[in-house]
Structure 1
Amino acid sequence: MRVPMAGLARLYARLLFRRPPADWTVPVADGRYGPAEAADDRPLTLLMLGDSLAQSFGAHRPEQTLGARLAKGLAEGTGRPVDLRVHARIGATTGAMGRQVLRAARLRPGVAVVIVGGNDALLPAPLGRAARRFAYLAQTLRDAGWQLVVVPCPNPGYGPGFRPLARWAGRHRSRRLARLHIRTADRVGAHLAPTAGPEFRDRAAELLGPDGVHPSPTGYATHATRMLPALLTAAAHLPAPVPAPN
């Protein structure tokens, strides 16, 4: 019998977290962002792919999510409205992200942000397989016309809410996977955005939520500020939009 992804995420959390969350609800942030009267009314698509970090578990309201903050920043920086679509899901591995990429085929290509690998690093599965799958999905998105922004695999060792063994194993495996993500990004012409650093360990009370693993709303705001320059660069590489009819 196939276990739903949400059920796998809860089982995984009980094994690896010191304080597993009781509620895995994530606010839905999909929609259009930007000023009511934008300088350019042709919308730009922003797609969030990957796991709980890309979905923004730990945010309490839609406007606190990473996707919403990035969409607002893109709208301000480009002068265009931004249509946000969040396909990322809690507990997703690189393999599971394939379904998210398939759904993206129905969207007009724009900027796609990928944050994945943390679950792969914490599971007893070959990293080479995850890296090859990541490379395939990245190339698929690029071939479909997406400007890709890759956040290399985050380091679970910075999350004090993980159990010691998970932090130790995850630290070493995530570093290897992050290097492979960077190599793939260079090869397919993707843009790199910074991943979480040791400040999330050193300022855990401020930047992490109650589980000590996922960012707090302040943590997502910090992520968005660091990532936005890469998204603006990616947006600048999109083909010029077709002029709107008079």
Structure 2
Amino acid sequence: MRRLVLRFARLYLHLLAHRPPRDWSVPVADGRYGPEPPSGERPLTLLMLGDSLAQGFGAQRPGQTLGALLAHGLAEGTRRPVDLRVHARAGSTTAATGRQLHRAVRLRPGIAVLIVGGNDILLPVPVGRSARQHAHLAGALKEAGWELVLVPCPDPGYAPGLRIPVRWIGRRRARRLAERHIRTAHRLGAHLAPTSGPEFRDHAPRLLGPDGIHPSPAGYATHAARMLPVLLAAAGRLPAPAPAAT
């Protein structure tokens, strides 16, 4: 059954994109970033949830993924060690991200970054249903004590690797979903981080990978630079770090 689903997904992707990827592997970036402080205080946890952008698909090395770049920046900006946990997976829809959240229940809450919706708008999934699922995920993270950073649904119109009709239809759906994501962030008091902009279309050879859809290492660096101030603001709202247990 799983093979049949994967075969259908690959066939569907060929209908949407000019040059769909053949290899969906992503470098594993989980781990400790930044030096251990002399006081031995507990590290800050950074959790990445969502789809290929949150996982870092298109990066060639762990340090080039979005999570690793943000973890490095957080460690430098807060002068605290950062434990990065990437539960995001390429191809995930909002509904599938719920399973990622279940894996995070044992983690000590810190900053959670949620980037999802890009796959929903390319599938025959009602925008309202995706928005409600997203609101449920965001609410569950807040209730669990995470300082939440939401990235609204990205605009596929900036991805030249998608076929033109897909970009037209996807853009309208993405804007509707992004508006709902923004409303959820305001309602919950979550932080909003910027999504992709026209520079990814205008400088696609540098900022996008070979498929013309997912970021290149330079593209992830651009994303991280735009998002890091928001994560540092989120870190400022966390409780003071407690000493590690001895």
TM more than 0.5 = yes
Contact between 1:93 and 1:119, CA under 8 Å: does it hold in 2?
yes
Give 1:239's aligned residue. 239
- How many matched pairs? 246
Contact between 2:48 and 2:55, CA under 8 Å: does it hold in 1?
yes
Q: Which letter does structure 1 place at the counterpart of 2:95? A: G
Q: How many Å separate the matches in 2 of 1:14 and 1:165?
A: 14
Q: Which letter does structure 2 place at the counterpart of 1:33? A: Y
Give 1:92's aligned residue. 92
Q: Which letter does structure 2 place at the counterpart of 1:191? A: H
- Displacement of 1:197 in angstroms is 0.3
**Structure 2 residue 189 is the aligned partner of structure 1 residue 189:** yes
- Once the two structures are superposed, residues 30-82 of structure 1 have per-residue CA deviations (whole angstroms, 9 ceiling, x without a partner) of 00000255676420000000000100110000000000000000000111100
Give 2:154's aligned residue. 154
Give 2:203's aligned residue. 203
- Residues 89 and 12 of structure 1: CA distance in aligned 2, closer, same or farther (over 3 Å): farther
- Residues 245 and 130 of structure 1: CA distance in aligned 2, closer, same or farther (over 3 Å): closer
- Once the two structures are superposed, residues 169-201 of structure 1 have per-residue CA deviations (whole angstroms, 9 ceiling, x without a partner) of 111000000000000000111100000001000
- Residues 7 and 191 of structure 1: CA distance in aligned 2, closer, same or farther (over 3 Å): farther
Unaligned runs of 5+ in 2: none
Q: How many Å separate the matches in 2 of 1:209 and 1:38?
A: 41
Given the two structures, how large is their TM-score scaled by the length of structure 1? 0.95
Give 1:111's aligned residue. 111
**Structure 2 residue 65 is the aligned partner of structure 1 residue 33:** no
Q: How many Å separate the matches in 1 of 2:242 and 2:5?
A: 40
Q: Which letter does structure 1 place at the counterpart of 2:159? A: G
Give 1:165's aligned residue. 165
Q: How many Å separate the matches in 1 of 2:127 and 2:35?
A: 43
Give 1:24's aligned residue. 24
Q: How many Å separate the matches in 2 of 1:31 and 1:16?
A: 35
- Once the two structures are superposed, residues 193-223 of structure 1 have per-residue CA deviations (whole angstroms, 9 ceiling, x without a partner) of 0000010000001100000000000000000
2:134 counterpart SS class: helix
- Displacement of 1:12 in angstroms is 3.7
Contact between 2:158 and 2:201, CA under 8 Å: does it hold in 1?
yes
Q: How many Å separate the matches in 1 of 2:9 and 2:224?
A: 25
Q: How many Å separate the matches in 2 of 1:38 and 1:158?
A: 46
- Residues 171 and 35 of structure 1: CA distance in aligned 2, closer, same or farther (over 3 Å): same
Q: How many Å separate the matches in 2 of 1:3 and 1:204?
A: 33
Give 1:64's aligned residue. 64
- Residues 244 and 85 of structure 1: CA distance in aligned 2, closer, same or farther (over 3 Å): closer
Give 1:122's aligned residue. 122
- Displacement of 1:239 in angstroms is 1.5
Give 1:228's aligned residue. 228
Q: How many Å separate the matches in 2 of 1:10 and 1:187?
A: 37
**Structure 2 residue 109 is the aligned partner of structure 1 residue 102:** no
Q: How many Å separate the matches in 1 of 2:4 and 2:73?
A: 34
1:125 counterpart SS class: coil
- Displacement of 1:104 in angstroms is 1.1
Supply the RMSD in Å over aligned alpha carbons.
1.7
Contact between 1:207 and 1:215, CA under 8 Å: does it hold in 2?
yes
Contact between 2:27 and 2:60, CA under 8 Å: does it hold in 1?
yes
